[in-house]
């Protein structure tokens, strides 16, 4: 039995959409026809993609995954089977379009696949780390607890992203306002000023000529330069996806950038420590956990170094010594790991380290954005001052001539 996603019209002409279980598309159409629904579109659940899509990835969002992992874990701990628990979630209206993806995963579980394989196949957004934790939970018989831990981890990831977006909101608004003001000045104010001065045969002051020249350069060359930069960015993104060596090199250079390079270091340590702690709690072997934690940082260079470091652990080396070979993680994290290995409480110390890096990250964001806001306002004020002088100086000159 398969699950199909359909859209059609009922006998009153109203649009109907949802899920239906059937042997094949023909059987699904017949079932819906007997229910009084004329099918316009039908496809396997989870295969329907949005009409307008800006991202290459499709699948479950972070918010949906948090809800699914949390509720699925609670249902499993209550004694329900995976299929029955998914049946309940699929009927949940709060999941919306995600129900089709869950239905596809349920069909694959009925065919004999594990939850980890079914979820990762049904949704591209399910990471290898999430798949590994689900697989370990299934093997150890603690899938409910593993899903609850996974929900907490995904929720924390979403929280970090939300804090960054919120922190960047004010500078973004100020920059947009600055661009709008600059466009208005260069397109309307300065050209009208030039026209008036030309008609009055008044020589333009130097600052007015400079600002007008700057406006012409920006208006004539701004759009082509912006298009070129966008095309270069798109091509570089495609090359990074097809050329792993280039991506590793670019990711390595990110840590040497002024100011923001330090932010990349803190975030890499935060993600690595938190991920490894959760993987250890879920029972993932240390060698595999080291590789997955390196991948969870989102940096290809760290992922490569973590793969090499895992070989050292596999041959009997300590985790602390292995992490020391990963340059962005070699400052303070190995000390925490060494203390945890010596005291036999590595998981707790990794949690403590992740909390410490979380506080460092928030201080970094608060401090640097706190400096960015007045800097942007100062630059905007200087620009407004120059524009005001460029407009007022000719007026003052005209008044002097009239007098």
pLDDT tier at 54 (50, 70, 90 boundaries)? Answer: very low
Query: Do 40 and 69 fall into the same domain?
Result: no
Whether 295 and 199 share a structural domain? yes
Question: For residue 337, what pLDDT band results from cuts at 50, 70 and 90?
Answer: very high
pLDDT top residue among 43 and 339: 339
Last residue of a domain, one of 120, 155, 190: 155
State mean pLDDT over 289-313: 88
Instruction: Report the share of the chain in percent with pLDDT over 70.
Output: 93
Instruction: State whether 230 and 329 are in the same domain.
Output: yes
Q: For the CA atoms of the chain, what is the radius of gyration?
A: 29
Domain count for the chain:
3
Distance CA 290, CA 277 (A): 10
Coil/strand/helix, residue 390: helix
Output the domain CATH number for residue 292.
Answer: 1.20.81.30
**Two structure tokens written together for 41:** 């579109």
pLDDT (0 to 100) of residue 322: 92
User: Is residue 67 located within the same domain as residue 94?
Assistant: yes
- Per-residue model confidence as pLDDT tens digits over 181-213: 777 777 777 777 777 777 777 777 788 778 777
Higher model confidence: residue 244 or residue 6? 244
Q: What gap in Å lies between CA 288 and CA 333, rounded to an integer? A: 19
pLDDT classification of 53: cutoffs 50, 70, 90: very low
Which of the listed residues 130, 155, 180 is the one where a domain comes to its end?
155
Same domain, 132 and 107: yes
Please count the residues of the chain: 403
H-only helix segments in 185-243: 190-199, 206-242
How high is the pLDDT of residue 50? 45
Q: What SS3 state is found at 279?
A: helix
Euclidean distance between CA atoms 154 and 162, whole angstroms: 12
- Phi then psi for residue 283, to 5 deg, are 90, 15
Average pLDDT over residues 55-84: 82
Q: Of 121, 100, 154, 22, which Cα lies nearest the Cα of 86? A: 100
pLDDT of residue 52: 40
Q: pTM of the entire structure?
A: 0.67
CA distances from 207 to 186, 211, 222, 379 (A): 14, 6, 21, 17
Helix 286-296 to helix 260-282 angle (10° resolution) is 150
The residue with greater pLDDT, 255 or 176, is 255
Q: Which of 94, 121, 155 is the last residue of a domain?
A: 155
Helix, strand or coil, per DSSP, at residue 280: helix
Rounded percentage of the chain residues whose pLDDT exceeds 90 = 11
Domain interval for residue 107: 62-155
Say what the pLDDT of residue 194 is. Answer: 73
User: Hey, is 270 helix, strand or coil?
Assistant: helix
CB distance 204 to 394 below 8 Å: yes
pLDDT at 46 over 70: no
pLDDT of residue 320: 92
Mean pLDDT over 267-281 rounds to 85
What rounded mean pLDDT belongs to the chain? 81
Q: What average pLDDT does the segment 146-161 reach?
A: 80
pLDDT greater than 60 at residue 49: no
Tell me the average pLDDT across 158-181: 76
């Amino acid at each position: 039995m398969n699950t199909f996603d359909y859209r059609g019209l009922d006998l009153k002409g109203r649009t109907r959409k949802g899920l239906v279980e059937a042997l094949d598309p023909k059987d699904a159409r017949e079932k819906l026809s007997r229910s009084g629904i004329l099918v316009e579109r039908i496809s396997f659940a989870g295969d329907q993609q949005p009409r307008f899509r800006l991202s290459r990835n499709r699948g479950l969002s972070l918010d949906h995954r948090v809800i699914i992992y949390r509720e699925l874990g609670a249902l499993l701990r209550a004694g329900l089977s995976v299929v029955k628990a998914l049946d309940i979630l699929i009927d949940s209206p709060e999941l919306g379009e995600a129900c089709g993806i869950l239905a596809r995963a349920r069909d694959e579980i009925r065919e004999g696949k594990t939850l980890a394989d079914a979820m990762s196949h049904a949704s591209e957004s399910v990471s290898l780390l999430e798949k590994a934790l689900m697989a370990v939970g299934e093997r150890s018989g603690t899938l409910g607890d593993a899903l609850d831990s996974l929900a907490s981890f995904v929720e924390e990831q979403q929280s970090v992203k939300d804090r960054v977006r919120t922190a960047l909101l004010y500078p973004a608004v100020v920059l947009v306002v600055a661009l709008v003001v600059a466009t208005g000045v260069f397109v309307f104010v300065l050209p009208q000023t030039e026209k008036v001065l030309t008609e009055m045969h008044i020589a333009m002051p130097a600052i007015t000529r400079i600002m007008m020249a700057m406006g012409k350069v920006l208006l004539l060359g701004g759009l082509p330069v912006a298009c070129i930069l966008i095309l270069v960015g798109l091509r570089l993104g495609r090359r990074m996806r097809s050329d792993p060596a280039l991506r590793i090199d670019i990711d390595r250079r990110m840590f040497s950038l002024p100011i923001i390079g330090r932010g990349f270091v803190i975030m890499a340590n935060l993600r690595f420590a938190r991920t490894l702690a959760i993987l250890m709690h879920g029972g993932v072997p240390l060698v595999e956990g080291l590789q997955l934690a390196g991948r969870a940082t989102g940096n290809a260079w760290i992922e490569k170094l973590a793969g090499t470091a895992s070989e050292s652990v596999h041959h009997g080396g300590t985790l602390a010594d292995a992490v020391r070979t990963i340059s962005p993680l070699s400052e303070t994290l190995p000390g925490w790991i060494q203390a945890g290995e010596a005291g036999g409480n590595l998981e707790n110390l990794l949690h403590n380290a992740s909390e410490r890096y979380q506080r460092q990250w928030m201080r970094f964001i608060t401090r640097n954005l706190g400096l960015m806001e007045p800097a942007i306002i100062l630059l905007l004020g200087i620009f407004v001052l120059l524009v005001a002088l460029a407009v007022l100086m000719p007026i003052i000159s005209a008044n002097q001539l009239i007098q």
